[in-house]
Amino acid sequence: MRPDTPAAHATEAERLLRTAGQYPGDREPLCLQAAAHLELAGDRPAATALYDTLLASSPSPGNPLLIRALKAANLWEYGHEAEARAIIEGIRREKPEDAAPWEIAAETLEAHDELEAAESTLTEAADLLVTSEELPHATQSLLATRHRVRRMLALPHDEGDDLADRLHTAAVPLDELHDPKRLWSLGSEDPAELQAEITRLRSELGTYRTALSRPFPVAVLHWPEPELDELLAAYPELEAEYPTYRAHLTDIEASLRELAQAGTPNLGIVRATVPSYEAFAASESTHPSNADLLPQYATTLAARGKAAAWPPGRTAECWCGRQSTYGQCHGSK
């Protein structure tokens, strides 16, 4: 169950920090999650202190600009506007090659009614990052955010907005999702108009719920054959989940294709190992033979940045590890 009170968020932050101490290699993503829970708990100074600790850590964090963007968003929320602005300007000067710091910086400006500054930040990022229509999920999200901000500013469509429209797959078009006039209809006394708006909002909420996985993909477990053999030898109760290695590989590809057909973005595969799984089971105070633990393990690995994006390119190595391309292996079916 997700935390829904300040005390629960504080408790979850403490749990994540303890886990970060147990898994130093995963410290950065776990601490970032902990900082988010501290913000939700209302302890913004503690979140800032955690961001500062990450930025000062040795070795240096893997994505310092992302941490700085999150810190700026947090600072502005509790009265440190000048410092937040300075951090955002510093991020823009450094021109990150990752979309996430740009988008967080722009959304911080947008949240404080700095729409023109948000739009110029997003446009600068799009000019730098958009080199084709085959874009990672984070860059597609940035384009959608830019589309929304430009719609609020009543700016005409440009090439970036057209690309955002083409990449958008939900049933409700971006122009409708981002129409500022939609808010006015919520004050209508016409039941039919209200019901139509509720239907549109439900569709939009579904899109946003899916986007909550960003940057952590919806992931499935892949046990390499030696690991699966070891797993089943130690925990034969899991044979119902994995009758054969071949069936395991087939199920992975079939599950991911089904999710993709349902419109789920940002899919990934995480490679499992028995020692890691046993350590995770111990951290959850349960036994590795508990099959209900498997999806939780997959989600945790994905949250720690261990997922590989699916599908790979047709000429890239297949996710299963065989010495063949995805197009010649699981992508050929």
Q: Within a domain: residue 54?
A: no
User: Could you tell me if 196 and 261 lie in one domain?
Assistant: no
β-pairing, 218-222 with 307-309? Answer: unpaired
Residues 200 and 314 in one domain: no
Distance CA 333, CA 325 (A): 13
- Based on the fold, state whether residues 207 and 280 are members of the same structural domain: no
Q: Are residues 141 and 80 part of one domain? A: yes
Whether the CB-CB separation of 109 and 118 falls below 8 Å is answered with yes
Hey, what are 4's tokens? Answer: 């829904």
CATH number at residue 203: 1.25.40.10
Residue 207 and residue 70 in one domain: yes
Q: Return the CA Rg of the chain.
A: 22
| Domain coverage including residue 81 | 63-211
Would you give per-residue pLDDT tens digits along the chain (333 residues)? 344 688 888 988 998 899 888 888 888 888 998 999 899 899 999 999 999 999 999 888 889 999 999 999 999 999 999 999 999 999 999 999 999 999 999 999 998 989 999 999 999 999 999 988 788 888 999 999 999 999 888 899 999 999 999 998 877 788 877 877 664 555 567 777 777 767 766 665 555 444 444 444 578 999 999 999 999 999 999 998 898 998 999 889 888 888 888 777 778 899 999 888 888 888 777 888 988 889 888 888 887 778 888 888 888 889 988 888 888 888 876
1 domain-assigned:
no
191 and 310 assigned to the same domain: no
Same domain, 114 and 142: yes
| 234/299 same-domain check | yes
Residue 161 shares a structural domain with residue 250? no
Do residues 74 and 51 make contact, with C-beta atoms less than 8 angstroms apart?
yes
Domain boundary among the residues 211, 244, 271 is at: 211
Q: Is residue 25 situated within a structural domain?
A: no
Number of domains composing the chain: 2
Per DSSP, the three-state class of 222 is: strand
Cα 172 from chain centroid (whole Å): 22
Domain end, chosen from 211, 232, 260, is at 211
Give domain status of residue 50, yes or no.
no
For residue 45, being part of any structural domain is answered with: no
3-state class (DSSP) for residue 316? coil
